[in-house]
Amino acid sequence: MGGLKRAMRSKTGKAWLTKLLAGAGGLLAASISLGYTLYERRQADVVPQVEVATPVDAGRWKVSFAGSALAKEMPNGAKISPGKKAIVVSMMLENLSAQSSNLYGSLIKPTNLPDTPKPQYYLSRDRAILWDLQPRMPEAVTAVWEVPANVALPDVLRLRVEGEFFKPRDNLYNAPGWFPLGTVAEIALPLDGETSETKP
């Protein structure tokens, strides 16, 4: 009778130990995952501030800003939409990837303008709308945001540059692709008064 009780106690003892180990393993995995997430978040908070004419490497694009201004007309000579103002940022833009691309729409975001859509880009060389940029051929381009005319504009335009990184084999299709990286740089550009021509 006593032997049976002892055997049962050792069995429940074993079961209790197994449960403890399983719980501890799960807790360890969760805490490692949490620690890594916190570590990543901490790293990403530091965003470098850049000056005018400093090149910024954003993965697929390299951009260096020249200046920003309020424009009287679009860079291709077209009129600004009625009831709107046009903010023009001029820059040098280079395609760092291995293929012609026109995916620069999400590259630059203004942080102190009320919600703006993606900017329209113009090629300064042709004074026309920008289509694809070819690899290893930097061009002077201008980005134009149209905001309603009654919006108060800041003296200094703050812009964020969003970066991307390249994965030769992604997790879903095993195919190459570019994925968002987060903000890689910020710049403050003084917003000049009305100009009729933007200088590259």
Partner 1 sequence: MIPAVLGAAALLAALQATTPPYATLTGPISTVGRQSDTVSSDTFSVKINRVLKAKSIAYKQFGRAVDLQSSGVWVAVSAELQAFQKTVPVRAATLIGSSGRMYRQSRRAGDAPNVLSTKTVQPGLPTTGLLVFELPEDELRNMKLVLSEQYDPQLKDEISVSLETIETAPQARLEIRKDGV
Between the CA of residue 92 and those of 10, 67, 100, 142, 145, what are the distances in Å? 75, 11, 16, 8, 17
> 103 vs 113, which CB is nearer to partner 1?
103
Single residue of 19, 106, 126, 190 touching partner 1 by CB under 8 A: 126
> 5 vs 173, which CB is nearer to partner 1?
173
> 10 vs 99, which CB is nearer to partner 1?
99
Q: Which run of H or E residues covers position 92?
A: strand 84-95
Single residue of 169, 194, 197, 200 touching partner 1 by CB under 8 A: 169
139: CB partners within 8 A, 6+ apart: 92, 93, 94, 123, 124, 125, 130, 133
> 1 vs 137, which CB is nearer to partner 1?
137
Beta carbon of residue 99, minimum distance to partner 1 (angstroms, whole number): 4
Beta carbon of residue 82, minimum distance to partner 1 (angstroms, whole number): 26
Sign of CA dihedral 93, 54, 176, 170: negative
* Using rule CB under 8 A, residue 78 touches partner 1: no
Q: Among residues 88, 187, 78, 85, which one has the least CA distance to residue 144?
A: 88
Single residue of 136, 155, 171, 196 touching partner 1 by CB under 8 A: 136
